[in-house]
Amino acid sequence: MIDYDKPILNKNGEPLKIIEAAAHHCIRCIKKATALKKIGYEIHGIGDKAVYGQELYDTYSVWKNERQFKNIIALHIAQRADIISWDNEPDHPVTWIRDVIKEMNSQYHVKLVADLHDLDSVRRKENVIPKTERFMFNHADAFIYCSLPIQKMTNDLHVVNKPNIVLYSYCNDGIVEYDDSQIKNRKNMIYEGGINCPDDRTMNTVFPYRDLFPILQQLINQGNEVHAFPGNGDAYVKGQHTGVVLYPPTEYDKMMQKLIEFKWGILIFNNKNNTEPQVKYTLTNKAHEYLQAGLPSITCWCEESEKWIKKHGIGLVFSSIEEIGDCSSLEDKYIELMSNIYTKRKELVMENFIWRVENMYAGLLGVDTKGIPDKISNLSKLEYDE
């Protein structure tokens, strides 16, 4: 076993060379890559567009079609890549990567991992497996899930017998800091993430849990001032008449710096009847972002996130929007929540749990795994019920 703070070495005695490929790198990809880069790994990015965080990669390549994608993968394999990680949807590029690995006869020294943030089989309540998703599970060597329930239900559905782990979408250590003396000046509620445009029937049918303007307006009617960072520009433009104070899509680090001005983070989805598996079983990015910005979460209708918020005492869980009322009435709970957040935001960071990914990579490649300090091991046992 090797030291916790040193990178795992491949069979040539060099730090693993990791390729993070995606259609477009979401913030979870950047969080994981940042933690790996800090340890000393060589990390290369591949995406279909330039994105926030691309500067952290040793190289970043942009692809626009299957031919370009496969050529980039082939180039990295020729330059002795160890791990190729495909991050999130769509599923079919996993098949492209496997095609190249086979063509180059590289299956013995290059391993393919699928990091599954979202799955169509989870969204589809009828448990129908899409063809491309089935191929992805056939072709990948290992899987990373974003929550324990999704790991279990997906492993059962696909009868997975390959290595797989859960890694939550933690923020990176130090992504944002705030002055404790300024907490007293905080006010109002903030939501950040995807929001459907008002009256967009198509999106409200496909992604009903993101039909959030009615919920945000109800919070306003209950006496709250509500702000939001929509992840999509159309909601910012078309939602100006809703009474929600809206900010245009903003780069991640700048958004995080703005979050520290607010008092409460809104962790709510339109899922009153608990029928939407996408938010019922997933632990969201925003739960971690509110924690790092020092915002207690106001949580409702997102079961797995509710469990995590309760476990760590970093927010309040409600059974209805009406029960939330006017947040000025929650002042007596704020000091205790902020005390818990003070500790938890230092513990629950990607850097403390990235060893889970490293050791899975080591197992796939047949090289030495890492030693884990007791403190971090105990944290992991608490987090993942191990």
Percent of the chain with pLDDT over 70: 99
Show the beta-strand stretches assigned E in 140-296: 142-145, 164-166, 189-193, 226-230, 245-246, 264-268
**What does the pLDDT average to over 158-178?**
96
**What does the pLDDT average to over 78-104?**
96
Give the per-residue pLDDT at 331.
94
User: pLDDT tier at 120 (50, 70, 90 boundaries)?
Assistant: confident
User: pLDDT tier at 125 (50, 70, 90 boundaries)?
Assistant: low
Taking alpha carbons only, the member of 30, 144, 41, 139 closest to residue 92 is 139
User: pLDDT tier at 124 (50, 70, 90 boundaries)?
Assistant: confident
Which tens digit of pLDDT belongs to each residue from 306-340? 999 999 999 999 999 999 999 999 999 999 999 99
Q: Which domains does the chain have, with CATH numbers?
A: 17-171+350-384 (3.40.50.2000), 180-347 (3.40.50.2000)
**What does the pLDDT average to over 192-197?**
95
Give the per-residue pLDDT at 322.
98
Taking CA atoms, 244 is separated from 34, 46, 342, in Å, by: 33, 36, 29
Which of 123-137, 203-217, 277-291 shows the lowest per-residue confidence on average (mean pLDDT)? 123-137
Q: Name the burial class of residue 350, with classes exposed (0-12), middle (13-18) and buried (19+) by CB atoms within 10 angstroms of its CB.
A: buried
Give the per-residue pLDDT at 3.
86
**What does the pLDDT average to over 247-272?**
96
Which tens digit of pLDDT belongs to each residue from 339-367? 999 999 999 999 999 999 999 999 999 99
Q: What is the dihedral of CA 115, 64, 96, 73, to 10 degrees?
A: -80
**What does the pLDDT average to over 5-23?**
95
**Phi, psi dihedral angles at 87 (to 5 degrees):** -105, 110
- Cα separation, 79 vs 77, in Å, equals 5
Which tens digit of pLDDT belongs to each residue from 15-62? 999 999 998 778 999 999 999 999 999 999 999 988 888 899 999 999
Give the per-residue pLDDT at 127.
67
Taking alpha carbons only, the member of 256, 263, 257 closest to residue 225 is 263
Which tens digit of pLDDT belongs to each residue from 273-284? 999 998 999 999
**What does the pLDDT average to over 78-106?**
96
Give the per-residue pLDDT at 122.
85
Average pLDDT, the chain: 94
184: helix, strand or coil? helix
Give the per-residue pLDDT at 338.
98
Contact predicate 278/261, CB 8 Å: no
Give the per-residue pLDDT at 126.
57
- Cα separation, 88 vs 169, in Å, equals 13
Q: Given a cut of 80, is residue 128 above it in pLDDT? A: no
